[in-house]
Amino acid sequence: MKNFSLYVVLPVALFCGHLRLTSQAPADANPLNAVLKTMDTAAAGFRSAQAEFEWDIYQKVINEIDEYDTGTVYYRRQGKEIEMKAEVQQAGSDLKKLKPEPKYVLFSHDKLRIYQAKTDQTSEIDASKNRAELEAYLVLGFGGSGQDLVKAFDVTYLGPETVDGVATAKLQLIPKSEKVRNYYARILLWIDLAKGISVQQQFFTPEQDYRLAKYSSIQVNGKKIPDEVFQLKTGK
């Protein structure tokens, strides 16, 4: 639960490649502005998204990745708000020997709820006082605009990079909030130059632990995600 809380619950609860740039990105003398404009365009038409993920959690004190999580994440826009559901299906310390360990995270109607099937426990956090800040993290690279990004972070363009065959722009984000920096000193974000969404994220703590999130099978504005996906099914 320690790692799960640090890398999944805390960031939302608290603020509750070698390739050159191509014609896929808007023409702009400043490459960062081009990327932000691509994100703005994607955000304007965003309705929903889903993707498979792998979260690699690295602990500096032991100098190795000590936990892997895999599953599916869903997003949808409801009016002016964003709902998010993450379903962790497998976990373990060896990527080749992952075991079923369902965990569910749901952000909806100003509440963040986390259910762990193994212990049959549910936690709930009231996020109503920090709705805007919370959404900025939940939609990081998925439906969030470039303009929203620069409001919450000091953004630096680190250059083009290819991630699993996808041409991306690598950005470094330094949270403007000191409170956030106590948990995340910096964040790396890889933005698909064609789609304006994130394909990879890396969150670094001040102690230099990190969570690397890798996304695949990304579907944006595809078929309607069933309403029941955005419900938290628990045990007894």
Is 135 a domain residue? yes
129-149 pLDDT tens trace: 776 666 666 668 888 889 989
Nearest-angstrom CA–CA distance, 184 and 130: 17
Is 231 a domain residue? no
Is 42 a domain residue? yes
Residue entry with tokens 């080749």: 96
Other beta carbons within 10 angstroms of residue 91's beta carbon come to 21
Is 211 a domain residue? yes
Give residue 88's pLDDT.
92
Give residue 22's pLDDT.
33
Is 196 a domain residue? yes
Give residue 15's pLDDT.
37
Q: State which residues form the domain around 214.
A: 2-16+22-222
Beta-carbon contacts of 167 under 8 Å, excluding residues fewer than 6 positions away, are 17, 19, 22, 24, 160, 192, 193, 194
What string of DSSP letters covers 101-123?
Answer: EEEEEEEETTEEEEEETTTTEEE
Q: What is each CA distance from 7 to 56, 97, 114, in whole angstroms?
A: 10, 21, 13
- Give 170-174 contacts, CB < 8 A, sequence gap 24+: 170/17, 171/32, 171/35, 173/149
One-letter amino acid for residue 115 of the chain = Y
Is 151 a domain residue? yes
Give residue 217's pLDDT.
94
Which residues of the chain have a pLDDT value below 70? 1-29, 131-139, 236
54-77 pLDDT tens trace: 999 888 888 888 889 999 999 998
Give residue 23's pLDDT.
36
Is 232 a domain residue? no
Q: Domain with 210 in it: what CATH number?
A: 2.50.20.10
Contact criterion met (CB below 8 Å) for 174 and 158: no
Q: Longest C-alpha distance within the chain, in Å?
A: 58
The predicted model scores a pTM of 0.81
